[in-house]
Amino acid sequence: MTVSDQILGHGSHGTMRLLLDFYDVAHHEVKILRDSDQHQNVIRYFYQEATEKFMYIALELCPASLADVVENTTNPDLHQIRLSLKPRNVLSQIISGIQYLHSLKLVHRDIKPQNILIGESRGKLNSHPRILITDFGLCKRLADDQSSFHNTMHTTGGTIGWRAPECMINQLEDTSESDHSQWVLLAPSQQMRITKSIDVFSAGCVYYYYLTGGVHPFGDKYTREINILRGNHRLDRLDGILDGGVEAKDLIRRMIFKDPKKSFLQEVSDRLETEERDPPSAILKQLERGAEKAVGKNWSSKLDRRILEDLRNFRQYDTKTVQDLLRVIRNKKNHYQELSAELKGVMGVVPDGFLGYFVSRFPGLLMHVYYVVEGSKGMKKEPLFLPYFGGRE
């Protein structure tokens, strides 16, 4: 192996050479590469060389990343690569690589266009370029008896704008608790469970980016993080794609969509704002039937004093109605980042802790609202609620 001073590339921690202080981190990445490169959609590891100051890692050479192919539209070599790619095959290979890593109990935690490389095809029977997952600097392996561990580099993992919302809540901490039935990372101080689904979320963003020629489903780089936290995404750029656009839109929505039961109450509240209140429409009348059983005679008695004081600063709520309790949940969810640290501590983190705060105080609310929508003549068939009811009669 020939060692030179030339910088070969950049990874999640900087250049492809690693200082002695980070040898432990480098050995960790090399070990993961050795254990996981026996798959056609994972970058191939060949060799490592250590000098007095640096460690060098030799990997499979690839002509471009997915980001290169999407963003460098004038390069003729990249144009040829772009023409050889087939959208469905690209997604299939990305998911195949992620699925393989997950089968080894590895969470990549940094899926993004720059970490998806385009390699040469293998064999004459398969002419498609190989799509390879690379950069395992933030990858985490879970032992059979672990549900959490310390993070290297003091980071929650992921790249700004490409990481799942749960990665932004708080830095993961170590815990001595084990959960043999679940394969998860746990942030115990926030009661936030982080699973392999964070890779699926990132892959959904990457696929939309690829299909739309560089557009992100959560907006520009300055607003992505807050939009991801709020679940505000737009997939309308897929509407003009004739070949598979509808299917791709549905698939990506499912990949980046947060747990439906955690969004259902908010979406019902948004929808009910369009209903006539004076006199109340049929659906609002149905919503308030059995309200006492669902939320009590006066739901304000079940909320923390500090939350009630905050509510009085903005608008008047009818504390006997289900609709206004749904409004509270929706408004606090939409403006969560604007809440004081004290109120965030009371209600918990979005989505799990926040939802848990209200569900624990109103255990009958979710099913009450669900049955109201299910029993409606037309509301459950609306596009907004198809993920919950599937348009069934």
Is 217 or 366 the better-scoring residue by pLDDT? 217
Q: Domains of the chain: which residue ranges?
A: 64-169+189-258, 261-390
Q: How confident is the model at residue 334 (pLDDT cuts 50, 70, 90)?
A: confident
CATH number of 64-169+189-258: 1.10.510.10
Residue that has been written with the tokens 């059979």 in this structure: 144
Give CA–CA dist 111/204, Å, rounded. 10
Looking at residues 279-285, what average pLDDT do you find? 91
Contacts of 311 (CB under 8 A, 6+ apart): 317, 328
Least confidently predicted of 110-119, 177-186, 322-331, 372-381: 177-186
Would you state the pLDDT for residue 240?
A: 77
Overall fold of domain 261-390: de novo design (two linked rop proteins) (1.20.1440)
Would you state the pLDDT for residue 126?
A: 65
Is 110 tagged catalytic? Answer: yes
Which of 5, 21, 24, 110 is catalytic? The answer is 110
Would you state the pLDDT for residue 299?
A: 95
pTM above the 0.75 mark?
Answer: no
167-191 residue pLDDT tens:
775 433 333 333 333 334 433 333 3
